[in-house]
Chains A and B, each alone.
Chain A
Amino acid sequence: MLKDNLGLTLCILIALASIGFALFSGDPYYVQVVIWVFTNAVLAVTLRFVLLIGELNIATAAFFGIGAYTTAVASTIMDWTFFASLLAAPVIAGIISALFGWITLRTKGPYFLLISFAFTEIVRLFYTKTEALGGNSGMIGMFPPMALNDYFPAIAVTILAAILFGLYAAERSNLGRVFKAIQNNEDIPRSVGLNVIGLKILCFVIASATVGLAGGVHAYTNSVIAPADFTYFVAVLALAYVKIGGEGHIAGPIIGATILTLAGQFLHSFGPYENIFYGAIIIGALLLVPGGIVGLGARFKTGKFMGRAER
């Protein structure tokens, strides 16, 4: 474990610095990079949040997309205000995920993984076949209001950073401990009278609603969204972030997302090499550094250099 008090202070400082950078830097490209880093961090952290109950949730990609499409519809078709359209994203993503979780969280392991994969594909195919949502061309024209235009990057970073801290708080709460208990052995929490399915759904809804909000921010950041942006591959990349950073601590996915997003910026014209790079890094991290960067740090702290880190 990292020294949480010191670490937390550091994280808050980094978040504040990022918001400040977004406000004052004036360099649109690097501000954009900061937003991408935070968006990817949220994707990775929400994926890991469902891993707390032991399930690999490919539908992270689907709920990211549902959030983005909700905001796009609210903003461009229904003419809702900026904040209302953003707020609609987690609400709709939360409602759909509650239904989806209620039905599917009775399954687990490979079945849940594959259902969430199938769901992601269904949702994407649904967009392509719905003309009101722009079909394959997607939706355009999600711009923040003129008055907020200069502040939008800072608002985006603030929202995304708040999500990260919120999920950290949730994990550290009693609720978070119950989630981990479910992962270890769900019969024990059940034996003390806890509604395990209900808790699993709650965990799933929290993750989906927050990633939905990040999707809403993404819609405004890009101004254009299309079905092909929300394939299962989004979740696969998020998984890579989690794996590189380490899943033992919430800082892991954030570190992983930061490193890979920044690295990705310099690989932009890599063509076929890009996939090879990501593939090699995922395989390498999994086999050589199973605990990720955070795991390495923890081993360094406790002086246990030998043996495999816990997964």
Chain B
Amino acid sequence: MELQVQLLMNTLQIGSVYVLFALGLTLIFGVMKIVNFAHGTFFTAAALIVSSVMIWGVDTAGIPIWFSYLIAFVLALLVVCVIGFVVYFFGFQHVLKDLNGSFILSIGLLLLLNGTYLLLYGGVPRSIPAVVPGNVTFLGASLTIQRLLLMIVAAIITIGLYLLVHRTKLGLSLRAVAEDQEAAMLQGIPYRRVALYGFLIGATLAACAGALMATVTPVTTVIGDDFLVKAFIIIIIGGLGSVLGAILGGLLIALIESFGGYYFDPSTATLAMFVLVIVLLIVRPQGILGHAER
């Protein structure tokens, strides 16, 4: 029983970040119909910024640790937004709805940005000091307070995004554009502006995930790559463009990773995820919640 609780707790810990990351990816796909292989670089950028600002803030400037983290977090989001805007303005704007073109562009960006990060930060992993030290025990399952906070923050952001998409005017535009771009434009929705907002929200979500992960895992210049591959599996499972699908898919993949890693081995669990994707696509190509044309 304690073991099951622990494994479920692990699922939530892993899943919360997966969900954030996949939400951004699925949102960008929904609005712009692009498969963004450069999404992981937003995550990596945020994690790298948090690590360097934290190390500077705590070691050099002597700023209290929680305040350093706050500065780092905000700064990371800002920088990623700027990167996102530049990338959209000079790049994706010109290949909207062009699946192959935008995919190629995102691959180019992935290479360019990853190379730049390696140049700026080198290959050495960085680890930041604990923002809130200590552990908690819950129904026999143990986790760090940091992880608990991470889960709570991730859940709040996820709920916030869900409300944004389903309860606000911007959300309505995003959904309308995702559903049928031409009909949305006939209704007077400015497609390009909505696409930009969708892209920036997606990038910011990846940045949030990266800034949160930096507190619990060593940061390297390729940290986003592992998340990218998992996130693709998640959004295929959930259905491309589906917000709820990304949430459920993220938790499902985390569940497989947690239980599969325990009862078999982690490498086998990874293989199992890929096999699941292929099987699911054969049975239901549009994903669990997707409604794409076949």
B197 to chain A, nearest CB (A): 21
B107 to chain A, nearest CB (A): 5
Contact B274 A278 (CB under 8 A): no
The residue that B108 contacts in the complex, of A103, A271, A279, with Cβ under 8 A, is: A279
Q: How distant is the Cα of A113 from the Cα of B106 in the complex, in angstroms?
A: 14
A108 to chain B, nearest CB (A): 8
Say yes or no for A30: interface residue by CB 8 A criterion: no
Contact B274 A125 (CB under 8 A): yes
**Which of B95, B100, B119, B240 gathers most chain A CB within 10 Å?**
B100
With a cutoff of 8 Å between Cβ atoms, the chain A residues found around residue B116 in the complex are: 272, 276
The residue that A51 contacts in the complex, of B98, B100, B233, with Cβ under 8 A, is: B100
Contact B103 A56 (CB under 8 A): yes
Say yes or no for B69: interface residue by CB 8 A criterion: no
Say yes or no for A199: interface residue by CB 8 A criterion: no
Contact A117 B232 (CB under 8 A): yes
The residue that B236 contacts in the complex, of A118, A239, A276, A282, with Cβ under 8 A, is: A118
With a cutoff of 8 Å between Cβ atoms, the chain A residues found around residue B99 in the complex are: 56, 109-110, 113
Say yes or no for B127: interface residue by CB 8 A criterion: no
Q: How distant is the Cα of A155 from the Cα of B271 in the complex, in angstroms?
A: 38
Contact A286 B118 (CB under 8 A): no
Q: Which residue of B lies closest to A278 (CB)?
A: B111
Contact pattern, B 71-112, Cβ under 8 Å of A = 1, otherwise 0: 000000000000000000011001100111101110111111
Q: Which residue of B lies closest to A282 (CB)?
A: B108
**Which of B99, B109, B275 gathers most chain A CB within 10 Å?**
B99
For residues 279 through 293 of chain B, which have their beta carbon under 8 Å from a beta carbon of chain A?
A: 281-282, 285-286, 292
With a cutoff of 8 Å between Cβ atoms, the chain A residues found around residue B267 in the complex are: 125, 128-129
B209 to chain A, nearest CB (A): 20
Q: Which residue of B lies closest to A55 (CB)?
A: B100
Q: How many residues of B contact A (CB 8 A)?
A: 45
Contact pattern, B 112-148, Cβ under 8 Å of A = 1, otherwise 0: 1111101100000000000000000000000000000
With a cutoff of 8 Å between Cβ atoms, the chain B residues found around residue A282 in the complex are: 104-105, 107-108, 111
With a cutoff of 8 Å between Cβ atoms, the chain A residues found around residue B91 in the complex are: 283, 287
Q: How distant is the Cα of A51 from the Cα of B104 in the complex, in angstroms?
A: 13
Contact A111 B285 (CB under 8 A): yes
Contact B111 A275 (CB under 8 A): yes
Say yes or no for B14: interface residue by CB 8 A criterion: no
The answer to whether A286 and B104 touch (CB under 8 A), given A113-B35, A129-B271, is yes
Say yes or no for B152: interface residue by CB 8 A criterion: no
With a cutoff of 8 Å between Cβ atoms, the chain B residues found around residue A236 in the complex are: 107
Say yes or no for A150: interface residue by CB 8 A criterion: no
With a cutoff of 8 Å between Cβ atoms, the chain B residues found around residue A311 in the complex are: 98, 101
Say yes or no for B172: interface residue by CB 8 A criterion: no
Contact B94 A114 (CB under 8 A): no
Say yes or no for A151: interface residue by CB 8 A criterion: no
B280 to chain A, nearest CB (A): 10
Say yes or no for B29: interface residue by CB 8 A criterion: yes
Say yes or no for A2: interface residue by CB 8 A criterion: no
Say yes or no for B6: interface residue by CB 8 A criterion: no
Contact B278 A276 (CB under 8 A): no
Contact A276 B115 (CB under 8 A): yes
With a cutoff of 8 Å between Cβ atoms, the chain A residues found around residue B95 in the complex are: 286
Say yes or no for A273: interface residue by CB 8 A criterion: yes
Say yes or no for B169: interface residue by CB 8 A criterion: no
Q: How distant is the Cα of A239 from the Cα of B111 in the complex, in angstroms?
A: 13
For residues 22 through 61 of chain A, which have their beta carbon under 8 Å from a beta carbon of chain B?
A: 51, 56
With a cutoff of 8 Å between Cβ atoms, the chain B residues found around residue A107 in the complex are: 281, 285, 294
Say yes or no for A274: interface residue by CB 8 A criterion: yes
With a cutoff of 8 Å between Cβ atoms, the chain B residues found around residue A103 in the complex are: 282
The residue that B294 contacts in the complex, of A56, A106, A110, with Cβ under 8 A, is: A106
Contact B278 A119 (CB under 8 A): yes
- A-B contact sample (12 more), CB < 8 A, given A121-B274, A279-B110: A111-B285, A113-B35, A114-B232, A118-B278, A122-B275, A122-B278, A126-B271, A128-B267, A239-B104, A282-B105, A283-B109, A286-B95
A sample of 25 inter-chain contacts (CB < 8 A) reads A104-B281, A110-B35, A111-B236, A118-B236, A118-B277, A122-B274, A129-B271, A236-B107, A243-B104, A272-B115, A272-B116, A273-B115, A274-B115, A275-B118, A278-B108, A279-B108, A279-B109, A279-B112, A279-B113, A282-B111, A283-B108, A286-B105, A290-B101, A311-B98, A311-B101
